[in-house]
Amino acid sequence: MQQVGRVWGWLTGKSHESEAMENERQQRMRQVVRTGISSGGARGVAILVQIAIVPLTLGYLGQERYGMWMVISSLIAFLQMADLGLSNGLIGIVADRVAKKQNHELRKIIISAYAVLSFITLALILFAVLIIPQINWQWLLNFQSVLARQEITDAVLVLVVVALVSVPFNASQQIRLGMQEGATNGLFTSSGSVLNLILIIVVIHMEKGLPWLVAASMSGSLLAQIIHAGMLCKKFCTVEKQVSYSPVEGDTVVIGALLSKGVLFFVLQLSALVSYSLDNLLVSHFLGSSEVSVYAVTMKLFSIPGMLLSLYLVGMWPAYADASARNDKPWIEKIFWRSLRVSIAFNSLISLLLLLAGNWLIHIWTKGIVQPDIDLLVGMALWGILNAIGGNIAVLLNGLHVVRFQVLIALGALIMNAGLSLWLVQKIGVSGPIWGSVATLLGSYVIIIIYIKKMFSRW
């Protein structure tokens, strides 16, 4: 059969190597599509849940307490970085081991990752319990009601503890992505979203306070990810039983590699999240918690293009990593530019539609409580379009393990965004931070695209 294949390859001008590479490319894209479809279902469920949650909770809590909740919810993104970037580092490492069929090494990496994340989580929970009650949250968030003052410390403590407990279990999603089994993630993500909504309805029906509402909004997702992690751990714990391995006894090389990779992702995530979360904090501090509701709800609406686009991009990170491990550079360059063009066109169309219908949609969504100005809507629309560029850049560079360059750009962008947002929120009000973000993103993306073009030209 091999001889026949060689003769057919000679007659058709196709070698076994080119056929094998084409098969790999097709399989890679099939995995991207499967992950996208699964993520699409999960994201669709999450969007529907968010649409239901906003009027439920906004009407129940009132504008100030809802705004306060949105501000402290910004902490979740920071707390997800408690893994020191290790989870995101896993995607490329796992994809590389899978492509090279290094199954035993893959097993060691996954066990070590869970062990390190569990240790970090326990240490941070103890620290949080000691520190959170000492912070003057009323001064920081600038809220006025007596009820808000009574609830704030417990609400923050609940949010921090539940988010930290989630950290080791959430790594299962990155492991699945690295294995190009991202389609499995959608089932657990959507189940958690639905359970969150059910628990929120129960809490509102029981007329419980904000701390209970915070716990309800996160506990369903936590339970789903615990089950997911248990299934993944069982899969690897039942493989290669004859090999005794304990991360405590020491594969320090594996743990060191994970942490060194993770630190770069940690700095990158921290820079991006400070820039992103700083907006709500600036609006709350200078304009009051009530204005955060206007900013946060509008951003939720204009996050939809990026959320939809991420259904496709979530599978591209491991796909680029797989192609890089197989040295398939022409495929990477071709797919990146095609993906970038389509993504910009898609986000531009959706963002324009949201700009035209934004006030009407938000009025219906919040029952008239939130009414954004046109300058906020325009800024958010531009931000939504720029997300198409940022998403494609991130998955490409992450898949190619180009992280140090991203860190340098992110740190510079953080300084620029913080300065612009601080100045603009005092000059033009609630729309100031988003215009600071738009200006920063434009400058950063010009530099990065030039870098990518030079990188491709050297291949």
Q: Per-residue confidence at 247, pLDDT binned at 50, 70, 90?
A: very low
Q: Higher pLDDT residue, 405 or 103?
A: 405
Which amino acid is it at 14?
A: K
CA-nearest of 316, 304, 307 to 340 is: 316
Task: Find the mean pLDDT for residues 230-253.
Answer: 56
What pLDDT sits at residue 98? 73
For the packed helices 252-287 and 103-131, what is the interaxial angle rounded to 10 degrees?
40
Which amino acid is it at 270?
A: L
Task: Find the mean pLDDT for residues 200-229.
Answer: 88
- CA distances (Å), origin 347, targets 33, 73, 306, 308, 351: 19, 26, 7, 9, 6
Q: What are phi and psi of 205, to 5 degrees?
A: -60, -35
What pLDDT sits at residue 381? 95
CA-nearest of 318, 270, 279 to 302 is: 279
What pLDDT sits at residue 47? 73
Q: Per-residue confidence at 12, pLDDT binned at 50, 70, 90?
A: very low
Of 97-111, 216-230, 432-446, where does mean pLDDT reach its minimum?
97-111
Q: Per-residue confidence at 347, pLDDT binned at 50, 70, 90?
A: very high
pLDDT by residue (tens digit) across 130-140? 888 888 877 77
Of 64-73, 141-150, 195-204, 367-376, where does mean pLDDT reach its minimum?
141-150
> In whole angstroms, what is the distance from residue 433 CA to residue 429 CA?
9
What pLDDT sits at residue 245? 43
Name the residue range of residue 243's domain: 2-458
> In whole angstroms, what is the distance from residue 338 CA to residue 128 CA?
45
- CA distances (Å), origin 30, targets 27, 33, 180, 183, 185: 5, 5, 10, 11, 16
> In whole angstroms, what is the distance from residue 58 CA to residue 387 CA?
27
What pLDDT sits at residue 15? 47
What pLDDT sits at residue 353? 94
Task: Find the mean pLDDT for residues 138-155.
Answer: 75
With contact defined as beta carbons under 8 Å apart, do 141 and 285 qualify? yes
CA-nearest of 169, 27, 31, 179 to 106 is: 179
Task: Find the mean pLDDT for residues 167-180.
Answer: 79
Structure tokens at 181: 């089994």
Query: Helix, strand, or coil here: 248?
Result: coil
Structure tokens at 262: 């993770």
User: How many domains is the chain partitioned into structurally?
Assistant: 1
Q: Per-residue confidence at 250, pLDDT binned at 50, 70, 90?
A: very low
Give me the half-sphere count of Cα atoms (radius 13 Å) on the Cβ side of residue 363: 6
The backbone region for 180, taken as left when phi is positive above 0, alpha when psi lies in -120 to 50, beta otherwise, is: left
150 C-beta neighbours (distance < 10 Å), count? 12
pLDDT at 354 over 90: yes
What pLDDT sits at residue 31? 67
Which amino acid is it at 205?
A: H
**Mean pLDDT over all residues of the chain?**
79
Task: Find the mean pLDDT for residues 75-83.
Answer: 71
Render the burial of 222-261: b for 16+ CB within 10 Å, e for the rest. bbbbbebbeebbeebeeeeeeeeeebeeebeebbeebbeb
What pLDDT sits at residue 255? 63
CA-nearest of 409, 360, 350, 418 to 384 is: 350
Q: Per-residue confidence at 439, pLDDT binned at 50, 70, 90?
A: very high
What pLDDT sits at residue 259? 66
Question: Residue ranges of the alpha helices (H) in 134-251?
Answer: 137-141, 146-178, 183-205, 210-237
What pLDDT sits at residue 113? 79
Q: Per-residue confidence at 338, pLDDT binned at 50, 70, 90?
A: very high
Q: Higher pLDDT residue, 171 or 36?
A: 171
What pLDDT sits at residue 336? 93
pLDDT by residue (tens digit) across 255-277? 666 666 667 777 777 777 777 67
Q: What are phi and psi of 288, to 5 degrees?
A: 105, 155
CA-nearest of 352, 359, 371, 343 to 430 is: 371
Place of tokens 């990593």: 321
pLDDT by residue (tens digit) across 210-220? 889 888 888 88
Give the rounded percent of residues in the chain with a pLDDT score beyond 70. 81
What pLDDT sits at residue 11? 39
Q: Higher pLDDT residue, 326 or 29?
A: 326
Q: Per-residue confidence at 9, pLDDT binned at 50, 70, 90?
A: very low
Give the rounded percent of residues in the chain with a pLDDT score beyond 90. 18
> In whole angstroms, what is the distance from residue 213 CA to residue 151 CA?
11
Q: Per-residue confidence at 393, pLDDT binned at 50, 70, 90?
A: very high
> In whole angstroms, what is the distance from residue 65 CA to residue 208 CA?
13
Beta carbons within 8 Å of 26's beta carbon, 6+ residues apart = none
Task: Find the mean pLDDT for residues 351-360.
Answer: 92
Task: Find the mean pLDDT for residues 27-49.
Answer: 70
> In whole angstroms, what is the distance from residue 361 CA to residue 171 CA?
35
Q: Per-residue confidence at 4, pLDDT binned at 50, 70, 90?
A: very low
With contact defined as beta carbons under 8 Å apart, do 79 and 163 qualify? yes
> In whole angstroms, what is the distance from residue 406 CA to residue 400 CA?
12
Alpha carbon 227 to its chain centroid, in Å, reads 20
Q: Exposed, middle or buried: residue 413 (CB in 10 Å: 0-12, 13-18, 19+)?
A: buried
Task: Find the mean pLDDT for residues 44-56.
Answer: 78
Task: Find the mean pLDDT for residues 278-292.
Answer: 79
What pLDDT sits at residue 94? 77
